[in-house]
Amino acid sequence: MLILVVMVAVLAGVARGDDTTAIPTSLLSSPAGGEAPLAGFSPAASQTTIFTVSAKDFGDFSAASPTIISPSAILINGETGKVLYERAAHVRRPMASTTKIMTGILILEGMDLNARITVSKKAAETIEPKTWLKEGDVLTVEQLLYALLLRSANSAAVALAEGHSGTVEAFVTLMNAKARELGMTDTKFVNPNGLDKTGHYSTAADMARLARYAMTNATFRAFVGTKSYTLSLPGRTTPLVLESTNKLLGQLGWVTGVKTGLTPKAEQCFVGSGTKDGISVISVVLGQPLPDVCFNESRALMEYGFSQYRQVTFMDEGVVLAEAE
């Protein structure tokens, strides 16, 4: 009886041993589902270990980078933060309602979802495409977060900021402190909703950094990954159905979030995230005049990101592959 045994891990002609080329440990990301890149390779206790590797470094040529016409854009690996594509990514620009990523994550880190907030006159009078919050309305933090992150409600941002810190100004101070903590050196917040205001700006690179941080929070991921939510408002007989402004969500099964934005100065903005075959990517597009182009470029960037990696399986030495007579 002949027993076939794996003696060394081999991938696409690259092996460990003798005069063959060693696999650079710098090319190895974390095992599927892991939280941090590996410093090196060591066999796991199980018989197989799955790693994410750079496609081009193993002779597997990935797709050409997409043609992007938006003023600013960036694509990063959502797990490691590695930049995979950038275009004017460090130019300061207004970022519209993508601001609400910061608002949302601060609320989640500082408030109970069941806490109740009374809508103030200031919140109710905030500029909104459709007025639906009234002064005196009482909603939970959870309800307001759905309004904030799905429907991009500016009034919800103000109500949440006041509920968290007492005043919008105090909350904005916390937003900027968090930005500094995250290394967002080209970002300044003036309000919690992203409405055009002098001195309110960020960059594609900083927004990608923020999104990467926010998406580590499972509750945040659940909010931005929701396509629609039915909200029952006080004193209203008809519930309000909040549909996500993220047009890629639900259209593409691998899209996981994050947030759109639109103001006259910022134009179309979108921070998107996706996970496919164990690979997570985050794209940011800022300043695009046309909504379809904004979404299409975000999709193209993320698909390009997926093409940059491959998942490969290494088997432990001594694993029996097959038995033959």
Would you give the DSSP letter of residue 241?
Answer: E
Catalytic member of 100, 178, 247, 259: 100
Q: Give me the DSSP letters along 120-173.
A: PHHHHTS--SS----TT-EEEHHHHHHHHHTS--HHHHHHHHHHHHSSHHHHHH
Q: Is 188 a catalytic residue?
A: no
Pair 318, 43: CB distance under 8 Å: no
φ/ψ of 208, rounded to 5, equals -65, -40
Alpha carbons 193 and 147: distance in angstroms, whole number: 12
Pair 169, 163: CB distance under 8 Å: no
Instruction: Output b/e per residue, 291-316; b: 16+ Cβ within 10 A.
Output: eeebbebbbbbbbbbbbbbbebebbe
Alpha carbons 288 and 263: distance in angstroms, whole number: 11
Q: Is 97 a catalytic residue?
A: yes
Tell the residue number behind the tokens 């004017």, with chain if given: 88
Strand partners, 315: 48
Q: How many helices (H) and strands (E) does the chain have?
A: 8, 16
Catalytic member of 152, 202, 283, 298: 152
Instruction: Go through the chain and tell me how many residues it has.
Output: 325
Cis peptide before 190 (omega within 30 of 0): no
Side-chain-side CA neighbours of 310 within 13 Å: the count stands at 15
Element (H, E) at 219: helix 218-224
Distances (CA, A) of 51 to 29, 276, 299: 6, 14, 25
Catalytic member of 97, 165, 202, 280: 97
Q: Which residues are catalytic?
A: 97, 100, 152
